[in-house]
Amino acid sequence: MRALLRVEVRRLLARRLVRVVAAAVVAGSVATGIAVLATSREATPAQVRIAEAERQRAIEQCVSDGFNPPATQADAADRREFCVNEAIPAGQITFQLTDVLDILQGTDGKGSAAPLVIVSLLLGASFVGAEWRSRGLHAQLGWEPRRPRVAATKVGVAAAAVFGGALLAQAIVAVALVPAAILRGTTQGVDAGWMLSVGGAALRVALLSAIAGATGASLAMIGRSTAAALGAVLVYGLVEVVVRGFEDPAWLRWLAGENGGLFVVADPAASLRIGRSTIGALIVLAAYAFAIFGAAIASFRARDVS
Amino acid sequence: MNVIEVTQLRKEYRRGRRRRILAVDGLDLSVPKGSVFGLLGPNGSGKTTTLRCLIGLASPTSGACSILGADCGSELPGVIRRVGSVVEAPSFLESFSARRTLQLLGGLYEIEPRRVEDVLERVGLAERAGDPVRAYSFGMRQRLGLAAALLKDPEVLILDEPTNGLDPAGIVQVRDLLRGLADQGCTVLVAGHVLPEIEQVCDAVAILSVGRAVASGSLDEVRARAGVGGLLVRAEPLERARAVLAAAGVACTLGPDHLLVRKSAIDGANVSRILAEAGLYPAEIRPVRASLEEAFLGLTRAELPEEVA
């Protein structure tokens, strides 16, 4: 079993797609670090105070809008919330290293979590799908005919590799931003508590990536191609979009995307919205992944390899 | 001792809900130790399906097969280390080199890197071992498949059309390789339809047609079973000799300068006696050995539906 595991790790690391993705992550992170460094400027405490005062003035103007003033106190509260969060968002005076937490956790396309999970799914699907496409799996079964063992190793290696890769990618992103914070920004607020939060967030993103990688690999094992796996994910994505449209918490709490988002941000407000804890979200996601993995093993064991 | 045993093997493929294709229909096969055994048959006769059942890529619908005494359905992992195989066109990850491909496969049994270099040398791929598989010709891929099968130093070698795509030198090389392996005690089961190749290398063959073995045994036995070949008879006048034999109930065909008596019809001594009694003294009576190709065509045509044959 150890030999099989070792061979699968070597096979995965030797794949061109893995190398391309790794190079893209490093290049992207370095480019982001350089861009942030180039566009950031140092700000004195006085400049920060002036900017904050300007923002407060703009918020007050927004709330008291002369053409359409709020009629009641409740209206005014709603208006203030809108102005603070939507109309006059906090302007970045200077780059703060503490923003790394938001960058890692962002699941709305602005952070690294969603891309990492998607890439993990793709890598997992491609790792197994390419073996089917090239028929390399046929040759391998001539050496190791215990199919459940072969399938479990491949899925396990895909999950472990993307877990490690996601952790490493997040570390690279964080490290790439440190020069900008030190030279043109601030490291204020970086303490043990913050480090723990960042570490926890990175670990959750990596775990979610591992689940995505394992799911991609399992789907490719069932569909016997990368395209089939990605097609299945796409169809599920469409179903999720439709279900989200109903905005019914009873349905939302079972959606993989909803549980994934909750697990990454670990936000009590999000927990309340769908009535599930962060650990509960992880359990649901793991249960889905195990169900698909079980189906992959059963299918691989029962069907002829042709 | 038989190294490979196939008993009443039957394999059906489902196509859709109702349609079923019968690929192998009650096949029996025994391959003795240390022999080179040819599995012959036209396309779709069930050769590859049989091999796939043997190495566990397909499950038989019914019947059983075993290699080295291990049931191919449940006990294959126990003997797979001793079995090398290439079934259908060998395929590997296109971006990997031959060397990496073999190193990865060999890693499953912790085979030494030196052995990888040895088999690459043996199949004539050493010079291109570092190139990605995508740059290989079909013949080179075939060599790589053979290298993968040889890497385990197998006791049993199962090959599906191993000379496909090879140049004449490569064909001779593979032929010598198979013979050499058999001489060392390795049992080789080789499927194919390049009959002259099979004829030169095999000790015994089975001829498959529509999923069944229509003949099996040594090459001579199979030729005899096909009923092709016979006795070549030269006697003058040829027309009269034919008439004499026909009157005696011996069917023969007239050639340009000879008669050909069907082998199953009569033996040489009796032909000589019949002709001598009529005052005809044959100048030559000798057996004509049919080629395996003639036997193959005779046997497989007989099994096909009439309009196809």
pLDDT at A184 over 80: no
pLDDT value of position A238: 95
Higher pLDDT, A280 or B16: A280
Distance CA B9, CA B27 (A): 5
Distance CA A297, CA A181 (A): 48
Residues in chain A whose Cβ is within 8 Å of chain B: 3-4, 6-7, 10-11, 14-16, 130-131, 134-136, 138-146, 304-306
Q: Read off the pLDDT band of B307 (50, 70, 90).
A: very low
- Region B173-190 average pLDDT: 89
Residues A194-226, buried b or exposed e (16+ Cβ, 10 A)?
eeebbeebbebbbbbbbbbbbbbbbbbbbbbbb
Q: Which two tokens stand for residue B206?
A: 């089975």
Does B100 sit within 8 Å of A141, measured CB to CB?
no
- Region A116-130 average pLDDT: 94
Chain B residues in contact with A130 by the CB 8 A cut-off are 93
- Region A195-224 average pLDDT: 95
Question: Which parts of A120-178 are beta strand (E)?
Answer: none
CA distance A175 to chain B (A): 33
Percent of chain B topping pLDDT 70: 93
Chain B residues in contact with A135 by the CB 8 A cut-off are 88, 91-92
Query: By the CB < 8 Å criterion, does B210 face chain A?
Result: no
Query: By the CB < 8 Å criterion, does B74 face chain A?
Result: no
Interface test with B, best of A10, A138, A154 (most B CBs within 10 A): A138
Q: Which two tokens stand for residue A295?
A: 């189906």
Chain B residues in contact with A304 by the CB 8 A cut-off are 13, 52, 57-59
pLDDT value of position B296: 74
Residue type, B109: Y
Does A7 sit within 8 Å of B104, measured CB to CB?
yes
Q: Which two tokens stand for residue A257?
A: 């995307």
Query: Among B175, B180, B217, which Cα is nearest to B196's?
Result: B175
Query: Among B84, B47, B52, which Cα is nearest to B68's?
Result: B84
List, for residues A191-206, the tens digit of each pLDDT value: 888 889 889 999 999 9
pLDDT value of position B212: 87
Peptide bond before B237: cis, by omega within 30 degrees of 0?
Answer: yes
Q: Half-sphere exposure of A14 toward its Cβ, with a 13 Å CA cutoff? A: 18
pLDDT value of position A107: 52
pLDDT value of position A91: 60
- Region B261-268 average pLDDT: 71
- Region B113-121 average pLDDT: 93
pLDDT value of position B84: 93
CA distance A91 to chain B (A): 48
For A146, which of B77, B88, B101 is closest by C-beta distance? B77
Does B84 sit within 8 Å of A139, measured CB to CB?
no
- Region A118-131 average pLDDT: 94
Chain A residues in contact with B149 by the CB 8 A cut-off are 142
pLDDT at A223 over 90: yes
pLDDT value of position A242: 94
Does A16 sit within 8 Å of B77, measured CB to CB?
no
pLDDT at B23 over 50: yes
Q: Read off the pLDDT band of A75 (50, 70, 90).
A: confident
Q: Read off the pLDDT band of A90 (50, 70, 90).
A: low
pLDDT at B149 over 70: yes
pLDDT at B228 over 70: no
Please name the residue of chain A whose CA is at the shortest distance from the CA of residue B54: A142
**DSSP secondary-structure letter at A266?**
-
Q: How many A×B Cβ pairs under 8 Å? A: 81
Residue type, B103: Q
CA distance A305 to chain B (A): 5
Residue type, A141: L
- Region A182-195 average pLDDT: 82
pLDDT value of position B263: 63
Residues A68-80, buried b or exposed e (16+ Cβ, 10 A)?
eeeeeeeeeeebb
Distance CA A7, CA A250 (A): 44
Q: Half-sphere exposure of B146 toward its Cβ, with a 13 Å CA cutoff? A: 30
pLDDT at B305 over 50: no
pLDDT value of position B306: 42
Query: Among B101, B111, B84, B176, which Cα is nearest to B136's?
Result: B101
Does B80 sit within 8 Å of A138, measured CB to CB?
no
pLDDT value of position A92: 60
Query: Among B141, B187, B134, B136, which Cα is nearest to B164's?
Result: B141
Q: Read off the pLDDT band of A69 (50, 70, 90).
A: low
Does A136 sit within 8 Å of B93, measured CB to CB?
yes
pLDDT value of position A88: 66
Question: Which parts of chain A are beta strand (E)?
Answer: none
Q: What is the pTM of this model?
A: 0.79
Least confident of A9-18, A22-31, B11-20: B11-20
Mean per-residue pLDDT over chain B, rounded: 86
Please name the residue of chain B whose CA is at the shortest distance from the CA of residue A141: B57
Distance CA A109, CA A15 (A): 27
Q: Read off the pLDDT band of B118 (50, 70, 90).
A: very high
pLDDT at A23 over 60: yes
Distance CA B136, CA B120 (A): 14
Which phi-psi region, left, alpha or beta, contains residue A257 (left: φ > 0; alpha: ψ -120 to 50)?
alpha
What's the angle, vertex CA B6, arms to CA A306 and CA B9, rounded to 5? 60
Q: Which residues share a beta bridge with B40?
A: B192, B207
Higher pLDDT, B22 or A101: B22
List, for residues A232-282, the tens digit of each pLDDT value: 999 999 999 999 888 888 888 999 999 998 998 887 777 777 888 999 999
CB proximity list for A159: less than 8 A, separation 6 or greater: A124, A210, A211, A213, A214, A217
List, for residues B44-57, the tens digit of each pLDDT value: 889 999 999 999 99
pLDDT at B309 over 60: no
